[in-house]
Structure 1
Amino acid sequence: MGRGGSGGGGGGGYEAVDDPDGYFGEVVAAHYDDTSADMFAAEAVDPVVDLIAGLADGPGGDARALEFGVGTGRIALPLARRGVPVHGIDMSRAMVERMRAKPGGEDIGVTIGDFATSRVDGPGFAVAYLVFNTINNLTTQDAQVDCFRNAAAHLVPGGRFVIEVGVPDLRRLPPGQNAVPVRVGATRLGFDTYDVATQGMRSHHMMVVDGRPVYWSLPFRYVWPAELDLMARLAGMRLRDRWAGWKGEPFTNDSTTHVSVWEKV
């Protein structure tokens, strides 16, 4: 994952904004794979790996891939098993340590740092990618613009930058309301709060672990598809494709997510 500080545990939450791991420190990392278990299923992972592997085997025949926010290796590990060399950038040592403990995790090169600005030495990459809403972890427009520029700086000419992110769900906000539930279950609750004036949002999570309540809260900045296209233009890239999902579903007015591919000019 990207920037921020870790959440809190016990009966309430805290924000360790000075945590070097950002908002994805030990408290979040300890439960991340379990709380996102559906995203680790083959039906969620395989289409992502298929698309990125195809893009990696592109410009110049260089199959190297760069993941911004490599986390616990949800995509990097199966992509590497497909024969694509993967390097990741991530601020959270706690998340990366969990990837390292998995089979093949030691073989993934990782640069610890902010993926909006951290640089990886060596030849350029055929594809850079940023999935599962991670662009929103950059909580200012300037940081998101920097991310596009950083991606372009790492790509070979003709290389591709891929982002998967939700379409802002503001149609679910009636006048006077700023909260939207995203998960309601017996052992876990989640809801997002929005500040429409600043494009700020915050994701709140509450779950029961070993009979004890755990709460953490993460800040985000939501971003519109057209805004991302402008960021790409500022970085010297142009939109090549936009779908509603990893299987190439058409992007429409009712799409809740999009997978967008920009090409370095």
Structure 2
Amino acid sequence: MDDPDGYFGESIAAGYDDPSSEMFAPEVVAATVDFLAGLAGAGRALELGVGTGRIALPLAARGVQVHGIDMSRAMVARLRAKPGGDAVGVSIGDFATTRVAGSFSLVYLVFNTIMNLTSQEAQVACFRNAAAHLEPGGCFVVEVGVPDLRRLPPGQRVVPFDVGPAGWAYDVYDVATQAMSSNYVKVVDGRGSYWSVPFRYVWPAELDLMARLAGLELRGRWEGWAREPFTADSGRHVSVWGRPA
């Protein structure tokens, strides 16, 4: 990938803010911001993978001082162009390793962004980076899906999740390495385009071990931002680890 913006360059950033997407639903954003604002309190918040500011901007509007880290200048340009965009500081770089001055009461990473780090080493580094930014007693929050391997019968690696006359999308899994990719094919005026993004899926228990290696302890895990109970049937989780006071 030669694009300095990684897999989220101008062509993706231009259409990223899709109001029909569930993650942009007002009730989803509100629940997320309520959860995070409660943890941030009167302190500062750091978002890893701030993107176009879907969560950072409404969190800042709640009075929380927010800083973000993101590799994509194209995504950050969208954040800057929005009302209140100048209130969120942004550092351009890899959120697994980029350091920001000062300490934070909250570091958070939402909507599967931890999986954009495609090796276990990078994910471990992300936890250590988050811990290094936290003040004593501060929290690190991750929202991520639970690997849905029950959809894979023996010998199958591909799972379609959106199929229609104008295109289709599918995930490809490698259960030996935990590597996966989401792949998108769109057809416009008889011409097709293809986009693929690599990920590394990660288990809740594996994340807990990464947190422990970084000196953090689990404080809670829920299915969603409304603190629904996390069960064996949950398709995602919101987990909170804390730095000891």
TM tier relative to shorter chain:
over 0.9
Query: For 1:36 and 1:181, how far apart are their aligned partners in 2?
Result: 20
SS at match of 1:24: coil
Amino acid at match of 2:159: V
- Residue 186 of structure 1, CA deviation: 4.2
1:44 aligns with 2:23: no
SS at match of 1:33: coil
1:26 aligns with 2:10: yes
Match of 1:126 among 83, 105, 113: 105
Match of 1:56 among 37, 40, 48: 40
Which protein has greater RCO, CA pairs closer than 8 Å, 6+ apart? 1
SS at match of 1:115: coil
Amino acid at match of 2:61: R
Query: 1:158-210: CA deviations, max 9, x gaps?
Result: 10000000000100001111011122344342110000000000000123468
Moved over 4 A (4+): 208-212
Query: 1:91-141: CA deviations, max 9, x gaps?
Result: 00000001111111122100000000000012x101000000000000000
Judged with a 3 Å threshold, the aligned counterparts in structure 2 of structure 1 residues 211 and 159 are, in CA distance, closer, same or farther, namely farther
Match of 1:228 among 200, 207, 222: 207
- Residue 231 of structure 1, CA deviation: 0.2
Query: For 2:81 and 2:131, how far apart are their aligned partners in 1?
Result: 31
Judged with a 3 Å threshold, the aligned counterparts in structure 2 of structure 1 residues 237 and 43 are, in CA distance, closer, same or farther, namely same
- Residue 214 of structure 1, CA deviation: 3.1
Query: 1:34-93: CA deviations, max 9, x gaps?
Result: 287321111111110000000000xxxx42100000000000011011111100000000
Aligned residues: 244
Query: For 2:140 and 2:166, how far apart are their aligned partners in 1?
Result: 37
Query: For 1:261 and 1:165, how far apart are their aligned partners in 2?
Result: 12
SS at match of 2:12: helix
1:93 aligns with 2:73: yes
- Residue 147 of structure 1, CA deviation: 0.2
Q: Unmatched 5+ residue regions in structure 2?
A: none
SS at match of 1:103: coil
1:187 aligns with 2:174: no
Q: Which residue of 2 aligns with 1:111?
A: 91
Query: For 1:167 and 1:35, how far apart are their aligned partners in 2?
Result: 25
Query: For 2:165 and 2:62, how far apart are their aligned partners in 1?
Result: 38
RMSD: 1.5
Query: For 2:20 and 2:210, how far apart are their aligned partners in 1?
Result: 29
Judged with a 3 Å threshold, the aligned counterparts in structure 2 of structure 1 residues 42 and 219 are, in CA distance, closer, same or farther, namely same
Query: For 1:212 and 1:88, how far apart are their aligned partners in 2?
Result: 37
Q: Which residue of 1 aligns with 2:135?
A: 156
SS at match of 1:202: strand
Q: Which residue of 2 aligns with 1:139?
A: 118
Cα contact 2:18–2:24 (8 A) shared by 1: no
- Give the alignment's TM-score, normalised by structure 1: 0.89
1:73 aligns with 2:57: no
Match of 1:198 among 163, 174, 177: 177
Amino acid at match of 2:224: G
